[in-house]
Amino acid sequence: MPKETKQNLKNKDEDVFGKAEKTSFVHMPSIKLDTSTLADNFKSLNKNTIPSGKLDYENNDDNTNKNIDKRPQLISKKDKRKQKKEAFLQKFNPSLKLQKKKQNEDEENDGLGMGGVLSSIDLLKNSMKLQPKTKGPKLTNEKRKKMSLKETNQYKNVLAHPSFKANPFATLQEHLANTRNDNNNNNNNNNNNNNNNNNNNNKMNNVKDDLIKCEIREISKKDKEFYEKNGYLEIENILPDKKQVELLLKRAKDCFNYGYDKGIVPDEVSWRPGLSLDDKTREMVNSWKTDSLMAQLILNENIGKLACELLDCDSVLIAQDDIFWKPTNGKSIGMHQDYPYFECMSNKVLTVWIALTDVSKENGTVEFVKASHKWKDLQSQLSNDGENGGDNNGNDAYSNSDFHAPVNYLKGLEGAYKLNGFQSIEELTIHPVTVNAGGCSIHHGKLWHGSNSNPSSFKERVSVAIHFAPGDSVFSETIKPCFSFGRYKMYRSNKLEETFYPITFSKNGYKSPIIIDAIKKN
């Protein structure tokens, strides 16, 4: 082989690929590359495209490119890892291109001093549109004008605010967010108010549907004259729904067998299953406290209105209620007045007596001594030895066997009619109440009344007596209350607490709040 000399090397074709210089990264040719061409080929990197490792020299017509190394260019491991990572992220985040594009546009707009404000506002508006709109109340034209004027003033205040000049983007963003929150809060408040109103209306409608219905005809002038003259009045069918009457009858009996739904023990019960005699007339005091269904009847506003009209007062309260259950062959109830029980709180008392079964003399109905409410007050004279018609031992009037099971139910009249000029019972006019189930009688607090035994072997007699007093009644300062009422007297107060003596009707529409809870079903 001929020896190579400098001249021979000079005459040889120039080696396109010069001796490579070994570096710590890749083997780079010693020839200098055209940087302008490389810049053109690497522009694609700024557009988020992944280089394939092969540079595009083929379409370049520049003669200077013939000396460029056309072999695949090797890159460092660090750059490879970076490219793989970007490619991987792009597969799972297709919005990366849009984000980078938006970032580039924001950078271009930075010179205006409002970089990204408009685009951010658009994003906020779009996010507001995407939220589900809640239906609010319809706006009138006047309200729309007020809202538009308010919004215009808000924008003016924002533009004039110093923070807008310092950082307009943050200021507008905060303003739009606050406006959105205010609108949402207003809509939510309106919807909550509407929902609360609807819930209250539904609640009241449900209560009204469940209440015992009571319909009482208008009290005429003639009715009032009869009541004032004789001391009593009869009204048929104040409970028009016979199914409700049957329901009340069943519940009244259940209460004597501990079937009251509120779990509160009645104030008084004169008969207990398995302990008392079966033929004794049964009495339960204040069942409205123990059972919601009985409360719906006893606290009924229409019944209270009737009592208020005949008592000639502005409002009435429940002084006491009684369930009377006279079984077949049941014992009698002694003649008495209601007034002595309640004179510790009022001198005006009226009783509404409601029949839950058909009542007549055949099953021991209640009997009134006609016009006896005008007699001289025998019971007040007898009560001087004790409290409220009782004795000094704290026993109530008529609490012994002479009341619940007397041998002769008329015996209690003897002293009273003699005091008022009558020589015998035969001179008296005694009226037996005769009404169908759901009918009622009303009698004066001083009217003498009682009932004979039930002669029927198959027909019971069940009734509810509601005792009313004026709504402004208070405990007397001179007459001490008996145990039945004294237990509810407040310390150093003569007030009749409405929790125990609820007002059921007032001419101004007021009723005691306890009524709402009392009539609720548990």
* Lowest mean per-residue pLDDT among 21-25, 86-90, 382-386, 436-440: 382-386
CA–CA distance, 481 with 497 (Å, rounded to integer)? 14
More confident residue, 72 or 202: 72
| pLDDT confidence of residue 53 | 45
Query: In the numeric block, which tokens belong to residue 21?
Result: 């210089």
More confident residue, 438 or 96: 438
| pLDDT confidence of residue 405 | 78
pLDDT band at residue 400 using 50, 70 and 90 as cut-offs? very low
| pLDDT confidence of residue 394 | 39
Q: Decide if pLDDT at 519 tops 90.
A: yes
Q: Decide if pLDDT at 97 tops 60.
A: yes
Q: Decide if pLDDT at 38 tops 60.
A: no
Q: Decide if pLDDT at 195 tops 60.
A: no
* Per-chain mean pLDDT for the chain: 78
More confident residue, 161 or 262: 262
DSSP 129-186: HHSPPPP-PPPPHHHHHHHHHHHHHHHHHHHHSHHHHH-HHHHHHHHHHHHHHHHHHH
441-496 tens-digit pLDDT? 999 999 999 999 999 999 999 999 999 999 999 999 988 888 888 889 999 999 99
311-361 tens-digit pLDDT? 999 999 999 999 999 999 999 999 999 999 999 999 899 999 999 999 999
pTM for this entry = 0.59
More confident residue, 111 or 449: 449
CA–CA distance, 161 with 86 (Å, rounded to integer)? 43
Which helix (DSSP H) or strand (DSSP E) does residue 503 occupy? strand 503-506
Q: Decide if pLDDT at 139 tops 60.
A: yes
Q: Decide if pLDDT at 371 tops 90.
A: yes
Q: Decide if pLDDT at 65 tops 70.
A: no
* Lowest mean per-residue pLDDT among 107-121, 163-177, 287-301, 450-464: 107-121
Q: Decide if pLDDT at 253 tops 80.
A: yes
Residue 100 Ramachandran class (φ > 0 left, ψ -120 to 50 alpha, else beta):
alpha
Please state which of the four CATH numbers 3.90.1150.10, 3.65.10.10, 2.60.120.620, 3.40.50.620 is assigned to the domain occupying 221-518. Answer: 2.60.120.620
Q: Are 460 and 358 in contact (CB under 8 A)?
A: no
| pLDDT confidence of residue 406 | 83
Section 358-375 average pLDDT: 96
Closest CA relative to residue 449, chosen from 297, 299, 329, 333:
333
Query: In the numeric block, which tokens belong to residue 221?
Result: 């002038």
| pLDDT confidence of residue 204 | 36
pLDDT band at residue 188 using 50, 70 and 90 as cut-offs? low
Query: In the numeric block, which tokens belong to residue 200?
Result: 């209250």
CA–CA distance, 329 with 326 (Å, rounded to integer)? 8
* Lowest mean per-residue pLDDT among 55-59, 88-92, 115-119, 506-510: 55-59
Query: In the numeric block, which tokens belong to residue 105?
Result: 């546009």
CA–CA distance, 251 with 291 (Å, rounded to integer)? 9
Q: Decide if pLDDT at 175 tops 50.
A: yes
Q: Kindly tell me the sign of the dihedral angle through the C-alpha atoms of 26, 28, 33, 37.
A: negative
Could you list the beta-strand ranges (E) of 11-78.
Answer: 21-22, 27-28
* Lowest mean per-residue pLDDT among 72-86, 126-140, 463-477: 126-140
| pLDDT confidence of residue 443 | 98
DSSP 322-347: EEEEE-TTPPPEEEE-SHHHHTTT-S
401-445 tens-digit pLDDT? 567 778 889 998 989 999 999 999 999 999 999 999 999 999 999
CA–CA distance, 462 with 139 (Å, rounded to integer)? 58
| pLDDT confidence of residue 98 | 67
CA–CA distance, 334 with 439 (Å, rounded to integer)? 23
Query: In the numeric block, which tokens belong to residue 366?
Result: 């209640």
CA–CA distance, 381 with 375 (Å, rounded to integer)? 13
Look at residue 205 and give its three-state secondary structure.
Answer: helix
| Contacts made by residues 159-163, CB under 8 angstroms, sequence distance 24+ | none
| Contacts made by residues 124-132, CB under 8 angstroms, sequence distance 24+ | 124/173, 124/176, 124/177, 124/180, 125/176, 128/176, 128/180, 131/184
Domain with CATH 2.60.120.620 in the chain: 221-518
Could you list the beta-strand ranges (E) of 266-404.
Answer: 268-269, 282-285, 315-326, 333-336, 350-355, 366-369
| pLDDT confidence of residue 66 | 52
Could you list the beta-strand ranges (E) of 203-250.
Answer: 232-235
Q: Are 352 and 444 in contact (CB under 8 A)?
A: no
Look at residue 30 and give its three-state secondary structure.
Answer: coil
| pLDDT confidence of residue 235 | 97
| pLDDT confidence of residue 11 | 54
Tally the C-alpha atoms within 13 A of residue 280's C-alpha that lie toward its C-beta. Answer: 20
201-222 tens-digit pLDDT? 444 334 344 689 999 999 999 9
What's the gap between Cα 327 and its chain centre?
42
pLDDT band at residue 307 using 50, 70 and 90 as cut-offs? very high
| pLDDT confidence of residue 164 | 66
Query: In the numeric block, which tokens belong to residue 342?
Result: 């309640």
Q: Decide if pLDDT at 399 tops 50.
A: no
Look at residue 421 and give its three-state secondary structure.
Answer: coil
Look at residue 75 and give its three-state secondary structure.
Answer: coil
Closest CA relative to residue 463, chosen from 291, 335, 297:
297
CA–CA distance, 287 with 464 (Å, rounded to integer)? 10
Q: Kindly tell me the sign of the dihedral angle through the C-alpha atoms of 22, 28, 31, 36.
A: negative
| pLDDT confidence of residue 247 | 97
